[in-house]
Amino acid sequence: MESTVYFKGLVTILACAGLFLLLAIPLILRKIPRNSLYGFRTLETLKSDRIWYEANFFFGWGMVFSSLTSAAAIIILYKLAVLTPDQYINSSLVILAVPIVIAILLTLLRIQKIKDTP
């Protein structure tokens, strides 16, 4: 029964990482105009096309890096098989969340730099 927990965790994190990767591509390609549903939405990005596209380009690459990092980390954790099922599930969530949170924080810092650049 435990092996299914590990495999389900692996598949779930890989699926989420894959989805994040797919969602990042239009942002990187600057294909998504300002809107209220999809993209890195802040007061600053919604005020300006320049800030919107720059921030979303940056965040898109952050999502790519986050996705690849999460995928690699969960594969390594799965192969090591050293954690209990509860530890594995909790670690899986951290592996998925931490890189994307870092990408969000770095994008917020990037927006401040973009705002300050004429």
Domain count along the chain: 1
Q: Give the pLDDT confidence score for residue 8 in this predicted structure.
A: 87
Domain extent, residue 23, equals 2-116
User: pLDDT tens digits, residue range 71-104?
Assistant: 999 999 899 888 888 888 889 899 999 999 999 9
Are 45 and 52 a contacting pair, CB within 8 Å? yes
Task: Specify the pLDDT at position 84.
Answer: 86
- The model scores a pTM over 0.95: no
Dihedral of alpha carbons 110, 63, 45, 102, sign: negative
d(CA 9, CA 11): 6
| Pure H helices in the chain | 2-28, 43-47, 49-80, 85-116
